[in-house]
Structure 1
Amino acid sequence: MRDFFVPDLCRVRSVFMLLITSELMVLVLAIVQANDGWIDWNYFALLSLFVQWTTLTSAALICLLRSRLAKLSVARATLAIALIVLLDVLAFSLFADSVLHPQPGIIGWQAIAKKLLLALLIVLMVLRYFYLQHQWQQQREAEMQAHLTALQARIQPHFLFNSMNTIASLIATDPELAEDAVLDLSELFRASLRTGDQLIPLAKELDLCKRYLAIESLRLGPRLKLEWHIADGLERQAIPPLTLQPLVENAVYHGIQPRPEGGTVRIEVEERGSFVYLLVQNPKPKEDCDQHKGNRMALSNIQARLHALFGEASVLKHSHQGEVYTVTLRLPKTIKHS
């Protein structure tokens, strides 16, 4: 039901935002209604009670019927939701009219008709807003997918040339090691061409990082030191493909390669509460405008993809303390089954 334009009203956050929005509208109406002073508090209290009850019950009904509504076209779903809300408003209007004006046989149909008209206009405006938000989100996800495709199609030329030279030098001296390097490089190419998956298990991304580092270790030798701290039980954590590997590649390219003495790349994955944290640490890069620009572009690309997939729950930040540069990635704990 990802393609349904109405947000999931079974979630507390969505219902809370509806309640806040409706309460603000009630406040505006109470201010307009007031003859003396800034606000008619009696009108505000009664209307607020009415609106909150209709909002909650309508949201509950739409939540229960969401799976069926999602199968309809946009026009039919809009009509069905409007009908649900209008019937709900009608029921509460009749109930409120019987409580406030308990005279048998007398129903204020004109007042009820005004409420129904106002409810219809509000529902149509809200649904229009939801539809535009959904279209914008789909467009953004399409753009992020295009960025991912471009990222996956881009193999750093310097890495490719260096890898081929390393493999060529190993063929005569250590053919088995050269064969392993070819297999690792082919797996990196395979991952760069796999554009269909938005999320993959963390275990696959870590395996890709290890293959990349195995190739770089052949070239850099003892200059490249590695530290792995991976918590148990996070193998199936969902992560966008080519998220961690570019961070590791940046750590080697910016933090290790320019230093004659080399340094240590530390990769850490741990769980804290409902989030999973991934850290990549390396020696602080030397001041180089071109390298820093490329690094910032990679971080911006990854951040945009994460936000499109996980929203505000995901965080990507970078910092340096002393001579250590750290990139921290926070993901909501999500299981990827395949």
Structure 2
Amino acid sequence: MNKKDSTDFYVPDLCRVRAVFLLLVTSELFVLVLSIVQAERGWIDWNYFGLLSLFVQWTTLTSAALICLLRPWLAQMSVARATLAIVVIVLLDVLAFSLFADNVLHPQPGVALWQGIAKKLLVALLIVLMVLRYFYLQDQWQQQREAEMQARLTSLQARIQPHFLFNSMNTIASLIASNPEQAEEAVLDLSELFRASLRTDDQLVPLSRELELCQRYLAIEALRLGDRLKLDWDIQPGLEQQAIPPLTLQPLVENAIYHGIQPRPEGGTVRIEVYGKGHFVYLMVQNPKPESSNRQHQGNQVALVNIQARPQALFGEPAVLKHSHQHNIYTVTLRLPARTAS
């Protein structure tokens, strides 16, 4: 039986400074609310606030430290057992500090003393159950989000335009009799494109692999479009290992040909430029501005939204896809954080 990874545990790592800071701020807000409710005169009972803050902060820090140390052990348990263990840890911690604090402040034990301790334990129980419930729901939401993201990435990565497949097969069929060697190369290029679309395990690949895939795709399109398709490459050296989601640049080039070159009887030039600037790498694809109906323009927008989804899912907000047109030239620019593919 394989041991579970502690990173899969629904309780966040309480050894991190950010997690401890959030716990302290949350507990201090809780103390503030109780101090306001407790005050008989004025807005807040400052003596009560100070004593309760000291008690709550110490119990919060020690409980977080214990859970942090026991995290690998807790992660091996089921959710119910881990929750029960954490509740016991926190309640024992609260009981120890309650006994210590009350013995210092009230050396003579009595019924009222034990009632006060019982109230503290009940409040601690309710709070820890609410916090653990929140952690569990957050973990479930995160897992669902990651599963949906992975399904979306796989769907987008496996996407090959049907019109491209049909056009490629027709082109290969026409070349079999006249130029079998060229037809064979086209079949190899097409098979490599399909192999890349079916390789869903790699979330990031080197830019050099994506450029090679674009060259294979353009080689197939050049057989169909002939002189109507002109290419202009401008790739800055040293960016071969830049990390990029697979099948990201190729759909941009395919989009440029489908919307900018294919509708024009005279064809046009597709310019592909890659350069680094600061902490980012820019991939730019230019083509003649489509002179088409709103339907084709909307199709272009939908294609760009689909292409943008994968870089943003993997890189977050730093990944930006922009499009513009100037002097009858349509430009799509993808900005990625400078990162080396592992």
TM-score band w.r.t. shorter chain: 0.7 to 0.9
Q: 1:118 aligns with which of 113, 117, 123?
A: 123
- Asked if the contact 2:91/2:121 (under 8 Å) is kept, the reply is yes
TM-aligned CA deviation for residue 318 of structure 1: 2.0
Q: Which residue of 2 aligns with 1:234?
A: 241
Report the residue type matching 2:52 in the other structure. Answer: L
Choose the corresponding residue for 1:36, options 41, 45, 50: 41
- Would the alpha carbon gap of residues 331 and 119 (structure 1) be closer, same or farther in structure 2, given more than 3 Å must change? farther
Unaligned stretches of 5+ in structure 2?
A: none
Q: Within 5 A, what are the aligned runs for 1:192-207?
A: 192-195=197-200, 197=201, 199-203=203-207, 204-207=209-212
Query: Out of 173, 182, 185, which is 2:187 matched to?
Result: 182
Q: Distance in 1 between matches of 2:273 and 2:133?
A: 45
Partner of 2:232: 225
Which stretch has the larger CA shift, 141-150 or 299-308?
A: 299-308
Alignment counterpart, residue 268 of structure 2, candidates 262, 269, 272? 262
Asked if 1:82 is matched to 2:87, the reply is yes
Shift of residue 153, structure 1, vs aligned partner: 4.4
Cα contact 1:230–1:268 (8 A) shared by 2: no
Distance 1:152 1:309, change over 3 A: closer
Aligned in 2, Cα 1:132/1:111: closer, same or farther, shift over 3 Å? same
Q: Which structure has the larger Rg? A: 2
Residue 294 of structure 2 aligns with which residue?
A: 289
Aligned length: 329
Matching residue of 1:23? 28
Matched, 1:138 2:143: yes
Unmatched segments (≥5 aa) in structure 1: none
Distance 1:96 1:137, change over 3 A: same
Q: CA deviation at 1:186?
A: 0.8
Hey, what's the Cα distance between the residues in 2 that align with 1:214 and 1:28?
69
CA RMSD of aligned residues (A): 3.6
Q: Select the residue among 55, 58, 77 that pairs with 2:60.
A: 55
The answer (yes or no) to whether the contact 1:231–1:271 under 8 Å persists in 2 is no
Distance 2:268 2:30 in 1: 62
Distance verdict in 2 for CA 1:108–1:36, change over 3 Å: same
**Cα deviation, residue 74, structure 1:** 1.0
Q: What secondary structure, in the 3-state scheme, does the structure 1 residue paired with 2:8 have?
A: coil
Deviation track 1:245-287 (CA, whole Å, cap 9, x = no partner) reads 43443344334544545234435364855xx645343247536
1:275-286 equivalent positions in 2, closer than 5 A: 277-283=281-287, 285-286=289-290
Deviation at 1:78, TM superposition (A): 1.1
Q: Mean Cα displacement is larger for which, 176-185 or 71-80?
A: 176-185
Q: Greater CA deviation, 123-132 or 250-259?
A: 250-259
Give the percent of matched residue pairs that are identical in Structure 1 and Structure 2: 64
SS at match of 2:124: helix
Q: Distance in 2 between matches of 1:269 and 1:54?
A: 54
2:10 to 5, 15, 27: 5
For normalisation by structure 1, the TM-score amounts to 0.77
The answer to whether the aligner puts 1:326 opposite 2:328 as a matched pair is: no
Matched, 1:150 2:186: no
| Distance in 2 (alpha carbons) for counterparts of 1:166 and 1:263 | 21
TM-score where L is the length of structure 2: 0.77
